[in-house]
Amino acid sequence: MTVSVLLADDQELVRTGLRAILGRHDDIDVVGEAGDGEQAVALAARLRPDVVVMDIRMPGMDGLQATRRIVGDGGRSPRVLVLTTFDLDEYVYEALRVGASGFLLKGAPADELLRAVRAVADGDALISPSVTRRLLDEFAARPRADAPRSAPLDELTARERDVLDLIAKGRSNPEIAEELVVTPATVKTHVAHILMKLGVRDRVQAVILLYESGVIEPGRS
């Protein structure tokens, strides 16, 4: 399966570099480029890419506003991979809240970018376990004005709860498979069922739901 990608960054040189990296691989097709958030929203609606690689800081409509518009567009909206210069950029937390599937540092190596795009397209988490813990602990510690969300955990089987607990700890599918003594394919099936039952798009959103519902607390390992 070919993953279609839209690049959104206000620096042409950055977009050129991203296109060069992604374009070398047969399973990835860069279908468009946007220089700001407004263009990204318009192209995402017209091209319907699988993944939008989104710079968070752009003039006019920034990546945060654009992510909210793209993810909230309804139907089979693209997944958003947020690019940031700093690994604790305050905008990253809000980007995850509004529906981004994760984030990637602009200084990340090429192979990490490729893994991230493929993971997001596959509905997986792209954030490494160590960053997941730091990011989500900080995210959850921030005050919120809205009421706690409800997580329909009663619909999950005991094994799905085990898998979800390990996802919340930042474990990858292979790590979960090893710990539960099952195959990676079995874990992937469990993850798909979990996302469907919780009504979320991906692993990152599932963990955020657990934090926002109070099921797990900041600092839990």
Dihedral sign (CA 68, 32, 120, 17): negative
Q: At what angle do helices 90-98 and 63-71 cross, to 10 degrees?
A: 10
Q: How high is the pLDDT of residue 170?
A: 73
Q: How far apart are CA 123 and CA 60, in angstroms?
A: 29
| DSSP, res 149 | P
**Residues 61, 87 contacting (CB under 8 angstroms):** no
Q: Can you give the pLDDT at residue 88? A: 56
pTM: 0.74
Beta bridge partners of 52: 6, 80
Q: How far is Cα of residue 130 from the mean position of the Cα atoms in its chain?
A: 15
- pLDDT for the residue numbered 96: 75
pLDDT means over runs of 10, the chain (221 residues): 94 94 94 96 95 91 90 76 71 74 82 87 61 59 60 90 87 88 93 90 80 66 46
